[in-house]
Amino acid sequence: MAAFRRWGLRFQIGMISVILLATFGMLMALMANHNRRWDLTQEKIYSFSAQTVDILRSLRDAPLEILAFYPSRDDNKTEVEVFLKEAAIVQGHLAYRFYDPQKQPALTRDLRVKDLYTMLLRYKGHEERVVLPDEEAFATALLRLKNPKEMTACVVTGHGESETGDTGGKGISRLAEALKDRNLAVRDILLAAQGIPPACRMVIVPGPQKNWTRDELGLLRKFYGQGGGVFFLMDPTDKEAGLIFYDFMRSLGVRIASNVIVDKMSRAVGGDFLVPFINQYHPDHPLTRDFHDPIFFPVARTVEPIEEENAEVVPVAFSGSNSWAETNLQLLEQGEAVFELDADTPGPLSVVVALTPLDPVKKTLEAPKPKGRMVIAGDSDFMTNAYLDLSANRNFVLRVLNWLAADDRVVRLDNINKDFAPFTLTESQRWGLFMASAVVLPLIFFAAGAAGILWRKTRV
């Protein structure tokens, strides 16, 4: 009888072990096929915003592929992978792969990935790329994949401007590549011969070295007035040179000064005193909002607003407090620039302004026309091949062009800045938690143990 009981006990233990193993196996299979986590924070700081979820769900009709370029041993990679797993659960057909740029340089070069933490998103033959993606940038890229648009950036040539086909230091071939990577077509135009084609969404004027005709300036003014975007870059010149541009800018409410900005703080960061260190931006303008990275403008002049009733002119980028606007250009050429209180203007100095036309008072019920946008900078060298990849120059240029394009495919998340609020128990909650852990749970275990002992005694 005792041997039979021992055999039965062993059998029970074996069956329990098999059942437990089978249970764990099923749980592991469910976890592998249904990767899911729950965000129990009150503010849902680890959950997607409703806008992101809606966009991901709207892309379920086709596979979504993501290529992420991150170093193999990087803490950011783990966080991004969790983010992509969540996105895959929502979208349903999302496949992602990580690549280390150092271990796979050929692929990195072929895909023209120039920055770490770059993410390429592909959907239905279209591609978007994001650098240092957060949820807002990720959702914006998804929205652009959902609603692809063809946009053309036209670059003015024929007056000594930097050229898109020039791969030298003074050319802007790298900028042209960056625009193409962001699904912007690039086209060179001759204003005098062909005007501004209808396909142009924006016009870039990269530092003219010769005067334009009044007809050419009229074409640009008309394009801006009809809702186009213009990026006009003016390098410093002698007082007698480029007078027609002075008049043109004055008619828009902008003064371009005959000076050169000197910034001796640039030497502290390894630069030249004629390469001002730009690190102050307008905090509320959409062009520079949340932009804090420094940029460098080699040999720049001041650009500032003047009174104008037909346009809103906003300075958006400034040189440092230790800079000044030098007006004695002959002394500057000799390398003997000294700040003179009565002649020179101390910094911070405006080097970039953004223009939008003001709404005229209308008495008709006509539909409002699209507003043009213009950005005027006191330097063009900062976006050439020699300086485009210096500090945040590239990012700033792309921000300018994105604003000029007036692309409405932008996601602004309502809860992107979720503040963590620690959970605080009330007095009654603390008392209830104490009773549950110190009294109720021990009593449950005591009762269960007592019941087990009584059951064994009744079996004997």
Phi, psi of 130 (to 5 degrees): -135, 135
Mean pLDDT computed over every residue of the chain: 84
Q: Which class for 53: exposed (0-12), middle (13-18), buried (19 or more C-beta within 10 A)?
A: middle
When pLDDT is averaged across residues 242-262 and rounded to a whole number, the result is 90
Task: In whole angstroms, give the CA distance from residue 22 to residue 35.
Answer: 19
Beta strand pairing call for 260-263 and 94-99: unpaired
Task: In whole angstroms, give the CA distance from residue 10 to residue 4.
Answer: 10
Grade residue 78 by pLDDT with cuts at 50, 70 and 90: confident
- pLDDT exceeds 50 at position 362: no
Domain ranges of the chain: 50-143, 150-359+369-404
pLDDT value of position 90: 92
**112 contacts 173 by C-beta, under 8 angstroms:** no
Look at the chain and count its residues. 460
pLDDT value of position 364: 44
Q: Do domains 50-143 and 150-359+369-404 have the same CATH topology?
A: no
Note the pTM of the prediction, 2 decimals.
Answer: 0.76
* Six-digit token string for 268: 């502290």
Residue the block writes with tokens 């699209």: 370
When pLDDT is averaged across residues 407-423 and rounded to a whole number, the result is 66
Residue the block writes with tokens 């946008």: 373
Q: How far apart are the two ends of the chain, measured CA to CA in Å?
A: 13
Q: Which class for 409: exposed (0-12), middle (13-18), buried (19 or more C-beta within 10 A)?
A: middle
Angle CA 366–369–373, to nearest 5: 160
Residue the block writes with tokens 């009888």: 1
Cis (ω within 30 of 0) for the bond into 315? no
Task: In whole angstroms, give the CA distance from residue 8 to residue 6.
Answer: 5
pLDDT value of position 400: 95
Which tens digits make up the pLDDT trace of 306-349?
976 678 899 999 998 888 888 877 777 666 677 777 778 888 99
**Domain 50-143 architecture:** 3-Layer(aba) Sandwich (3.40)
Bridge partners of residue 130, in order along the sequence: 119
150-359+369-404 carries CATH number 3.40.50.880: yes
Residue in 264, 234, 217 with CA at minimum distance from that of residue 353: 234
